[in-house]
């Protein structure tokens, strides 16, 4: 039996959501209903019938890419090697095991649609892998996202066959040893099985789906922290006016205003703030609302990728068709990831500007500079702000779109490519960096109250503030805050998830 069965479960007949990808951080039980198994078996039988008839099928009887004009290897095991081995050339840092496992889950759902012609034991093997703590070791760099994520998915197949490296319980091992520790058998593949495993956008979809799941939390966190800041500083709430935001004409902006009003219910202005606040307070419904639109669009796109079939060719037993085409071309996710990337950077800009306002005594009605209880002798948030500035700079530098960087390759067989994989990983990186910015702002708000800002008047915000204060002590004397930042980031994710569940 595989080592490490989990209580988390999914069904292959259900819709795969971006948030489900986070379940594979640990073992995940995936059920395959009888009708799903039947359609996989029916498609496989059709592939065997067609290939046995002498009909030419890409990847079954031929070479790959521009070498399609040449015959492939005669035996199934050899054709499997023919598919995988020449793609084991990736480099760069290894993607985190949770991302590689999310790619396995995404590939499983694609293959379970019964259009790829894989053997039943391939689907069973992927299910078994997910129910353990095994993860293929996969380099991040190597895919252009055009004929699917060929190189990273080849590393997945390579490890499942007992070759290369893999993780077991976060330890990097020879893949054969990791399989053994997990109680898994080496996966045997023929040519069609191997091509179906590597010829799809599942790494792109996994990385983008994980980025979306975090971005949803980040948007909620931005709403929460913006409301908390307005309350702590004693700002008026006119900027969240129902009529004002309805007149703007953007539903997501209106919804963000509603969320801010919910958080701020029970708050009252101090009467000491200017008539019009800085944009980092006054324009939060418009900024966060626009980000909400981008996040929602990315979520819709990646949901389609997670539940569609990205493969070539596809097989239709009911009509007797074998259709060669380009469903492996990850352009939709490439565009969506770039758009999400930009939205995440702007949320980062907002958090950085909000922290800058908070540590400036000229804009906080005289709170201590850097929120220090003893300026000069202790520096409180000064280091956090410096790192926040560096983090925003890094996010901005990475904001260049990948989806327009097309370069012809593969003897011009792939003469236009989307680079969706790189776009998706950038979005995932940005979502991770944004957690740090929000954590720094949360610590700043906690410290502001310590040095004289008012405690939140809105009951819901007061409750959140107390949770932050319970986890992060005030800065009385300077101390390392890196652990506090990680604690705050985790807590904000938890709170944002609770808010999502309540809405």
Which pLDDT tens digit goes with each residue over 269-300?
999 998 999 999 999 999 999 999 999 999 99
- What is the sign of the dihedral through the CA atoms of 262, 265, 267 and 271? positive
CATH of 208-310+327-502, one of 3.50.30.40, 1.20.200.10, 3.30.450.20, 1.10.530.10: 1.20.200.10
What is the tens place of the pLDDT at every residue in 145-204?
887 798 999 999 999 999 999 999 999 999 999 999 999 999 999 988 999 999 999 999
Which pLDDT score, from 0 to 100, does residue 42 have? Answer: 97
**Degrees to nearest 5, angle at CA 327 with 196 and 136:** 40
Domain boundaries, the chain: 9-200, 208-310+327-502
**22 compared with 144, residue with greater pLDDT:** 22
Q: Is 314 left (phi over 0), alpha (psi -120 to 50) or beta?
A: beta
Helices (H), 359-414: 382-397
pLDDT digits (tens, 9 = 90+) for 296-348: 999 999 999 999 999 989 999 999 999 998 888 899 999 999 999 999 999 99
Residue partners of 498: CB distance under 8 A and separation at least 6: none
Identify the pLDDT of residue 71.
75
Q: Report the pLDDT averaged over residues 242-252.
A: 98
Residue 66 has pLDDT above 90, yes or no: no
Residue 290 has which token pair?
A: 């626009």
* d(C-alpha 204, C-alpha 239), whole Å: 38
Backbone phi, then psi, for 31, in 5-degree steps?
-95, 140
- Supply the pLDDT for residue 3: 66
Kindly state the average pLDDT of the residues 8-32. 96
Tell me the mean pLDDT in the region 433-454.
98
Catalytic residue check, 155: no
251 pLDDT above the threshold of 90: yes
pLDDT tens digits along 475-502? 999 999 999 999 999 999 999 999 865 5
Q: Would the pLDDT of 110 be above 70?
A: yes
| HSE-CB of 128 using CA atoms within 13 angstroms | 18
What pLDDT was estimated at residue 501? 58
Q: Is the pLDDT of residue 374 over 80?
A: yes
DSSP helix/strand/coil, 208? helix
In the structure, how many helices (H) and strands (E) does the chain have? 17, 9
Mean predicted confidence (pLDDT) in 23-34: 97
What is the CB neighbour count within 10 angstroms for residue 361?
13
* Strand-strand pairing, 29-31 and 9-11: parallel
Single out the catalytic residue among 58, 155, 279, 436.
58
- Overall average pLDDT of the 236-241 stretch: 96
H or E element that contains 279: helix 279-282
Contact present, 321 and 337 (Cβ < 8 Å): no
**What is the reported pLDDT for 58?**
77
**3-class DSSP state for residue 346?**
helix
Cα–Cα distances in angstroms (integers) from residue 212 to residues 339, 340, 437, 461, in the given order: 11, 8, 17, 25
Tell me the mean pLDDT in the region 109-123.
96
- pLDDT > 60? residue 234: yes
Is residue 60 within 8 Å of residue 192, measured between CB atoms? Answer: yes
Is the pTM for the entire model greater than 0.85?
yes
Q: Which residue do the tokens 């790494």 mark?
A: 203
Strands (E), 128-238: 134-136, 139-141, 165-168, 171-174
Q: Under CATH, which architecture does the 9-200 domain have?
A: Orthogonal Bundle (1.10)
So what's the pLDDT on residue 68? 72
Q: What is the spatial distance between Cα 1 and Cα 5, in angstroms, rounded to a whole number?
A: 9
Cα(206)–Cα(68) distance, integer angstroms:
29
* Number of residues in the chain: 503
Would you give the DSSP letter of residue 70?
S
């Amino acid at each position: 039996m595989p080592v490490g069965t989990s209580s988390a479960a999914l069904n292959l007949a259900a819709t795969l959501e971006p948030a489900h990808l986070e379940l594979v951080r640990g073992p995940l039980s995936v059920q395959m209903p009888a009708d799903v198994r039947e359609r996989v078996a029916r498609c496989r039988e059709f592939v065997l019938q067609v290939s046995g008839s002498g009909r030419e099928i890409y990847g079954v009887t031929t070479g790959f890419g521009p070498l399609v004009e040449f015959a492939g290897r005669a035996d199934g095991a050899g054709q499997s090697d023919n598919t995988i081995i020449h793609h084991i050339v990736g480099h760069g840092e290894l993607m985190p095991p949770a991302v590689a496992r999310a790619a396995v889950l995404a590939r499983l759902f694609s293959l379970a649609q019964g259009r790829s012609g894989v053997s039943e034991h391939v689907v069973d093997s992927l299910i078994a892998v997910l129910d353990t703590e095994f993860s293929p070791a996969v380099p991040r760099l190597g895919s252009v996202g055009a004929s699917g994520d060929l190189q990273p998915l080849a590393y997945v197949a390579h490890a499942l066959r007992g070759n290369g490296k893999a993780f077991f319980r976060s330890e990097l091992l020879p893949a054969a040893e990791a399989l053994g520790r997990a109680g898994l058998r080496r996966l045997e593949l023929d040519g069609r099985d191997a091509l179906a495993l590597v010829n799809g956008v599942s790494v792109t979809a996994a990385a983008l789906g994980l980025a979306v799941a975090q971005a949803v939390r980040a948007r909620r966190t931005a709403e929460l922290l913006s409301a908390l800041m307005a309350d702590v500083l004693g700002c008026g709430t006119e900027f969240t006016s129902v009529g004002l935001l309805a007149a703007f004409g953007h539903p997501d902006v209106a919804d963000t205003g509603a969320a801010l009003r919910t958080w701020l219910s029970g708050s009252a202005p101090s009467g000491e703030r200017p008539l019009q606040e800085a944009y980092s307070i006054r324009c939060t419904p418009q900024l966060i609302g626009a980000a909400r639109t981008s996040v929602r669009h990315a979520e819709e796109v990646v949901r389609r990728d997670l539940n569609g079939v990205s493969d070539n060719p596809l097989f239709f037993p009911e009509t007797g068709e074998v259709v060669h085409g380009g469903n492996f071309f990850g352009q939709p996710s490439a565009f969506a990831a770039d758009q999400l990337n930009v939205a995440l950077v702007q949320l980062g800009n907002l958090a950085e500007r909000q922290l800058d306002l908070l540590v400036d005594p000229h804009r906080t009605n005289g709170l201590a500079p850097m929120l220090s209880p003893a300026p000069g002798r202790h520096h409180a948030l000064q280091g956090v702000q410096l790192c926040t500035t560096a983090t925003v700079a890094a996010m901005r530098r990475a904001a260049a779109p990948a989806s327009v960087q097309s370069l012809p390759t593969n003897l011009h067989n792939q003469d236009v490519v989307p680079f969706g994989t790189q776009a998706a990983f950038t979005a995932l990186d940005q979502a991770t960096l944004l957690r740090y910015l929000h954590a720094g702002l949360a610590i700043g708000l906690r410290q502001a109250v310590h040095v004289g800002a008012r405690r939140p008047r809105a009951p819901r915000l007061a409750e959140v503030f107390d949770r932050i204060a319970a986890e992060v002590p005030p800065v009385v004397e300077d101390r390392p805050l890196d652990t506090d930042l990680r604690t705050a980031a985790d807590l904000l994710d938890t709170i944002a998830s609770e808010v999502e569940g309540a809405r």
